[in-house]
A and B are shown apart, each in its own frame.
Chain A
Amino acid sequence: MRLLANLALQNLGRRKARSFLLIAAVAIGSGVVFTGATLMRSIDDSMAVGFTRLGADMMVVPEGALTNITAALLTVEPTDLVLDADVLARASIASLGRIAPQKIVRVGHSGIGGHHDLVDLIGIDPARDFTIQPWLKEKLNRELRAGDVILGAGRDVPLGSQLLIFGKPHLVYGKLGRTGVGTHERGVFMSFATLEALTGSMPQHGDVRPAALSPGKVTGFLVELAPGATALQARFAILSAVKGAKVVTGDSSLSGIRQGLAALLQGILALMILMFASMAVMVSVLFSAIVTERRGELGLLKAIGARRAQLVGMMVIEAVIATGVGGVLGVALGVLVMRLYERSLVYYLDNIGVPFIWLDLPQTVAYAAAAIVLASAIGALGALYPAWRASRRDAYELVRGES
């Protein structure tokens, strides 16, 4: 094995210019793939957050409820009108994607803020919510639990501190970033269970309690369209299936952008796969030429007793060394490109408040390792067939080809 590796290394050193070009080509290819894959995943994650931050595509509330429509974010306004929590699930509408139910109660004398401040207590289902949690700017390093609250950016209470709501202690689990939307800025968010647990502590006007606090009832739903579905289709489907509901749609262009960009990312992925495939073909063609050029040497080695496996092994090791080194250099190149990207575009995006979430370190390392392994595998596969074919030929035929 060591002998074959030495021979392979010496062969690479013999044709320095060609080895350099091969390594450079593989470095560029694997660098593009590594950088592309890492950036694409980062963009994908960032888009997922960014688009979710843009809020829902539409909102389903009881007929007669007030709604707040801003350019980018749909929010439900507190109301005494409610819907059944499972009304959309029962309707089973294909044009709907994610559905996040919310309960909203506006209360005074809660202990939060000034004595007369009205506070929106907003119940969410953490497992289904996609409009509040993406705005989390800071949070405790665990899941949201009963008794935890999330505060809007307008409330200046430290993370992890205790907050009394109607005399009951709650823990500040997280804080939202600035949204510019009142409900989000001043709201106090919690799970349905936490909100419903406050029912007994709230001052009552006679026997009347806010309808939204009743189990199985919600103030409204924030809805994301299914891929390819239009707001019009969804609106008609909801109105025909749910009696007494009102459908409010936001900026429809956002849905289009979301769906279009997802398709674009798929297209980029396909292009990267094509690029890798073309690199594999190029390496294969190159090694086919190298094997042809070196048939005399292969014949000689065969004549002095090298086995077919040893000949194939030598060529494959040579290819793996060249493409592996190319892969490592490609990853290094990719890291440099991403640093440049971070200092320019990502910095700019950050300044204008657009989040860019880099792939975490373990995943980035995994992508780098995959790029190097793939580059090496392409080398091995590219050299395997021409080497195997040459090894099958008579030694004399190979030797005579050279001489």
Chain B
Amino acid sequence: MLACRQVSKSYRTERGIVTAVAGIDLDVAAGRFAAIIGRSGSGKSTLMAMIGGLSRPSGGTVTIDGTDLWRLSDNALSEFRNGKIGYVFQFASLLPTLRLIDNVALPAMLGRRHGASGSYARAAGLLERMGLGGYLDAYPSEISAGEQRRVAIARALINDPALLLADEPTSDLDEQTESEIMDVLLTINREVGTTLILVTHNLALAEKAQQVVHIANGALVA
């Protein structure tokens, strides 16, 4: 499913070159749940961004289902992100001017995969599954942080991605809500078979994963 080979990322700063990720090799099989753990600033989010096609690596390759992500053209990469990868960010990432159903339908509309009515029917179904069927027309500011996170998960799933990337999706939530969100993610992984990669510094969450990748100072910890 996912194969990273010698993936690295360096930034040029005023104080010289800073290496965030230094030559990481990583394989995650299809349908598995992998957790990337590490302290703040260890490079786990940067690695996740390179895996997800959001940040171009300084070196190495990222291959998903046989496609070398960073050899794709800009448009092809956008299409790949749209169809194959779902993201749940560590902050509330909904567009505030759009209703919940618009937010969820947006990736499908951008990808023009299901048509407008098909996209909205799928979005309504996903929100229903997330227990938000009564809030289709609500705006993000009208629901709680936990509910917003569930909407973000629904949005990530709208195009049936093969890979779901969640970057500390529960970092700002209370324990009860965190548990609910994790249950949703694990259910998707188990029932739908979507490969799940979770970035977290919460070891208790990582224990639920089938594969744990520990990063420190931009490198894998053996």
Instruction: Mark A residues whose CB is within 8 Å of B.
Output: 3, 7, 10-11, 13-14, 297, 299-310, 394-397, 399, 403
Flag the segment in B105-113, B173-181, B187-195, B214-222 that touches A. B105-113
Contact A303 B110 (CB under 8 A): no
Interface size on B, residues (CB 8 A): 30
Given A306-B78, A403-B91, residue A396 in contact with residue B97 (CB < 8 A): no
Flag the segment in B29-37, B47-55, B201-209 that touches A. B47-55
Chain B residues contacting A307 (CB-CB under 8 Å) are: 74-75, 78-79, 110
B72 at the interface (CB under 8 A from A): no
B10 at the interface (CB under 8 A from A): no
CA distance A308 to B75 in the complex (A): 7
Which of B46, B78, B90 contacts A403, CB < 8 Å?
B90
Contact B109 A3 (CB under 8 A): yes
Question: In chain B, what residue has the closest Cβ to A392?
Answer: B74
CA distance A397 to B91 in the complex (A): 15
CA distance A209 to B107 in the complex (A): 95
Instruction: Mark B residues whose CB is within 8 Å of A.
Output: 46, 49, 52-56, 74-75, 78-79, 81-83, 87, 89-91, 93, 95-98, 106-107, 109-111, 155, 159
Q: What's the minimum C-beta distance from A392 to chain B, rounded to whole angstroms?
A: 9
CA distance A156 to B219 in the complex (A): 105
Q: What's the minimum C-beta distance from A84 to chain B, rounded to whole angstroms?
A: 77
Which of B54, B109, B110, B155 contacts A396, CB < 8 Å?
B54
Q: What's the minimum C-beta distance from B109 to chain A, rounded to whole angstroms?
A: 5
A-B contact pairs, 15 of them (CB 8 A): A7-B97, A297-B95, A302-B78, A303-B81, A304-B82, A304-B87, A304-B106, A304-B107, A305-B79, A307-B74, A307-B79, A394-B49, A396-B46, A396-B49, A403-B91
CA distance A307 to B98 in the complex (A): 19
Interface of A is mostly: helix
Which of A297, A394, A403 contacts B54, CB < 8 Å?
A394
Given A11-B97, A300-B95, residue A305 in contact with residue B54 (CB < 8 A): no
Chain A residues contacting B96 (CB-CB under 8 Å) are: 14
Which 10 residue pairs spanning A and B have beta carbons closest together?
A: A305-B82, A10-B97, A396-B49, A396-B55, A396-B54, A395-B54, A304-B107, A307-B78, A394-B55, A403-B91
CA distance A272 to B39 in the complex (A): 60
Q: What's the minimum C-beta distance from B62 to chain A, rounded to whole angstroms?
A: 13
Question: In chain A, what residue has the closest Cβ to B98?
Answer: A10
CA distance A3 to B98 in the complex (A): 11
Question: Which of A300, A308, A310 has the most B CB atoms < 10 Å from its CB?
Answer: A300
Which of B56, B90, B111 contacts A394, CB < 8 Å?
B56
Chain B residues contacting A395 (CB-CB under 8 Å) are: 49, 53-55, 81
CA distance A375 to B98 in the complex (A): 28
Chain A residues contacting B90 (CB-CB under 8 Å) are: 403
Contact A305 B81 (CB under 8 A): yes
Question: In chain A, what residue has the closest Cβ to B111?
Answer: A305
Question: In chain A, what residue has the closest Cβ to B92?
Answer: A403
CA distance A397 to B11 in the complex (A): 11
Question: In chain B, what residue has the closest Cβ to A395?
Answer: B54
Chain A residues contacting B106 (CB-CB under 8 Å) are: 3, 301, 304
Question: In chain B, what residue has the closest Cβ to A307?
Answer: B78
CA distance A301 to B102 in the complex (A): 13
Other A-B pairs, 16, CB within 8 Å; known A303-B54, A305-B110: A3-B110, A10-B97, A10-B98, A299-B54, A300-B93, A303-B81, A304-B87, A304-B110, A305-B82, A305-B83, A394-B54, A396-B49, A396-B54, A399-B54, A399-B89, A403-B90
Q: What's the minimum C-beta distance from B49 to chain A, rounded to whole angstroms?
A: 4
Given A307-B75, A310-B110, residue A397 in contact with residue B55 (CB < 8 A): yes
CA distance A304 to B107 in the complex (A): 6
Question: In chain A, what residue has the closest Cβ to B112?
Answer: A3
Q: What's the minimum C-beta distance from A399 to chain B, rounded to whole angstroms?
A: 7
Question: In chain A, what residue has the closest Cβ to B97?
Answer: A10
CA distance A216 to B194 in the complex (A): 100
Contact B107 A13 (CB under 8 A): no
Q: What's the minimum C-beta distance from B78 to chain A, rounded to whole angstroms?
A: 5
Chain A residues contacting B155 (CB-CB under 8 Å) are: 304
CA distance A365 to B89 in the complex (A): 52
Question: In chain B, what residue has the closest Cβ to A14?
Answer: B97
Q: What's the minimum C-beta distance from A394 to chain B, rounded to whole angstroms?
A: 5
Q: What's the minimum C-beta distance from B9 to chain A, rounded to whole angstroms?
A: 10
Chain B residues contacting A399 (CB-CB under 8 Å) are: 54, 89, 93
Chain B residues contacting A306 (CB-CB under 8 Å) are: 78, 110
Chain B residues contacting A403 (CB-CB under 8 Å) are: 89-91
Question: Which of B82, B90, B96, B97 has the most A CB atoms < 10 Å from its CB?
Answer: B97
Question: In chain B, what residue has the closest Cβ to A391?
Answer: B74
Contact B89 A305 (CB under 8 A): no
Chain A residues contacting B97 (CB-CB under 8 Å) are: 7, 10-11, 13-14
CA distance A399 to B89 in the complex (A): 9
CA distance A243 to B75 in the complex (A): 81
CA distance A396 to B77 in the complex (A): 14
CA distance A70 to B62 in the complex (A): 93
CA distance A301 to B74 in the complex (A): 14
